[in-house]
Amino acid sequence: PASAASIATAASVSARAADMHIAASGETWLEVRDARGQIIINRLLKAGETQDIEVPPPYSVVVGRAHLVKVTRAGKDFDLAPHTKVSTARFEVQP
């Protein structure tokens, strides 16, 4: 049987919160690349859909139709406005 310590460790790992959470209020698209430039997430989000980003920083994010998403990081709102040109937000997340 598993020890109490290994069960507690497994529970804390599975309960680990996502680094960033994205909620779409309309159709948008999302691309996330890790520190090596590898694509981790590349998908469309429809109204009402969400995406958790569980990649350890640093990573880069591109959000199309940025005005249609709400982004939170570590439970706090993340303002896309300074990172948005026209309707696309581009930014890097550091540790």
pLDDT, tens digit, 9 for 90 and up, residues 39-77: 999 999 999 999 999 888 999 999 999 999 999 998 899
Tokens linked to 3: 């020890």
- Is the pLDDT reported for residue 11 higher than 70? no
- Of 92 and 18, the one with more pLDDT: 92
| CA atoms within 13 A of residue 58's CA, in its CB half-sphere | 7
- Of 67 and 8, the one with more pLDDT: 67
